């Protein structure tokens, strides 16, 4: 009794007046639609990623050119004229060389005595006096430069240099330690310029280690310091790097907004 009942109910679900299985056709149509939609979405995603990669590479090239600056006469290769004994040696042409007439030279001691006798006493002693005076003067300048920098300032600059060196070696973790030290010292010294450099270095370190949101926070601090001190060198590069970080995270709308800010800053302030 129960089995025939189920059979008759199953037959009723799929049977139609025309003898067509509507449920099977509906499932087939849904499966084809999902397949086509998935392929289209995948193609659209690949296209967006390709376009964003092209935009990021163009942006990177622009920023590298901006950092490098203008190179004077890049295709020109020349050597300056050699200087010997205070005379400029001009390029020689094909002119026959005539052997000079050599006269016997007086002894060197006699020449020195004659030159010393012909000069006034003040002029004869002038070169040695100027040479002796220049040495203490240079020493004094170097001592003043050393006195001007405090121990914290020297350590801050050394930490920044070490961090840059670690970045070139692609060692993001080690660079981060150096830039953190530079940030702490610059805040203690109330040096906003060095603080901005440290924040920029921390952003680069975070990006190498794939900490994109932290890198963006450091770059926001860079822009804030620029507004505070009224000096905007490097802000265009900061906007471009933020756009790259958003691109790496797949947030393309935010990336596009920051690329627009980067281009606007480049047009307004130039490649700085």
Look at 57 and 228; give whichever has higher pLDDT: 228
Q: Could you tell me the pLDDT band of residue 205, with boundaries at 50, 70 and 90?
A: very high
- When pLDDT is averaged across residues 11-31 and rounded to a whole number, the result is 61
> Looking only at Cα atoms, what is the longest distance across the chain?
145
Q: How far apart are CA 199 and CA 183, in angstroms?
A: 7
What was the pLDDT predicted at 23? 61
What was the pLDDT predicted at 131? 46
pLDDT averaged over every residue in the chain:
72
Asked, for residue 55, whether it belongs to a domain, the answer is: no
What was the pLDDT predicted at 42? 76
Place of tokens 């001007």: 148
What was the pLDDT predicted at 31? 73
Alpha helices in the chain (DSSP H): 2-14, 22-68, 108-118, 121-124, 126-148, 151-168, 172-189, 192-208, 212-229, 235-248, 252-269
What was the pLDDT predicted at 48? 73
Tally of domains in the chain = 1
- Show the tokens assigned to 71: 């190179």
Asked, for residue 218, whether it belongs to a domain, the answer is: yes
**Cα atoms in the Cβ-side hemisphere of radius 13 Å centred on 1:** 0
Q: Are 228 and 192 in contact (CB under 8 A)?
A: yes
* Angle (CA) 188 192 198, round 5°: 80
Lowest-pLDDT range, 89-93, 162-166, 226-230, 251-255? 89-93
Asked, for residue 155, whether it belongs to a domain, the answer is: yes
Asked, for residue 78, whether it belongs to a domain, the answer is: no
Asked, for residue 220, whether it belongs to a domain, the answer is: yes
Asked, for residue 189, whether it belongs to a domain, the answer is: yes
Q: Is the pLDDT of residue 223 over 80?
A: yes
Q: Is the pLDDT of residue 80 over 50?
A: no
DSSP state of 73: S
Q: Is the pLDDT of residue 99 over 60?
A: no
Q: In which domain, by residue range, is 173 found?
A: 151-269
Q: Is the pLDDT of residue 128 over 50?
A: no
Distance of CA 75 to the CA centre of its chain: 24
Look at 207 and 39; give whichever has higher pLDDT: 207
Asked, for residue 187, whether it belongs to a domain, the answer is: yes
Asked, for residue 16, whether it belongs to a domain, the answer is: no
CATH of the domain at 192: 1.25.40.10
* Angle (CA) 154 160 165, round 5°: 125
């Amino acid at each position: 009794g129960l089995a025939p009942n189920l059979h008759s109910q199953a037959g009723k679900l799929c049977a139609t007046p025309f003898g067509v299985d509507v449920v099977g056709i509906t499932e087939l149509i849904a499966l084809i639609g999902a397949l086509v939609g998935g392929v289209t979405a995948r193609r659209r995603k690949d296209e967006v990623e390709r376009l964003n990669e092209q935009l990021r590479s163009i942006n990177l090239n622009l920023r590298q050119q901006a950092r490098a600056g203008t190179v004077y006469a890049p295709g020109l290769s020349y050597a300056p004229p050699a200087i010997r004994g205070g005379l400029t040696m001009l390029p020689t042409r094909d002119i026959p060389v005539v052997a000079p007439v050599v006269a016997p030279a007086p002894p060197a001691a006699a020449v020195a005595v004659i030159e010393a006798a012909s000069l006034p006493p003040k002029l004869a002693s002038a070169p040695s006096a100027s040479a002796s005076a220049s040495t203490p003067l240079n020493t004094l300048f170097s001592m003043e430069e050393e006195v001007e920098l405090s121990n914290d300032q020297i350590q801050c600059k050394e930490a920044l240099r070490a961090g840059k060196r670690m970045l070139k070696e692609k060692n993001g973790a080690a660079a981060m330690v150096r830039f953190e030290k530079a940030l702490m010292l610059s805040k203690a010294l109330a040096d906003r310029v060095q603080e901005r450099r440290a924040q920029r270095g921390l952003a680069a370190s975070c990006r190498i280690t794939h900490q994109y949101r932290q890198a963006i926070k450091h770059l926001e601090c860079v822009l804030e310091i620029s507004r505070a001190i009224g000096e905007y060198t490097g802000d265009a590069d900061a906007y471009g790097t933020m756009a790259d970080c958003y691109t790496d995270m797949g947030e393309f709308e935010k990336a596009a907004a920051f690329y627009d800010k980067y281009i606007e800053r480049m047009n307004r302030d130039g490649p700085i």
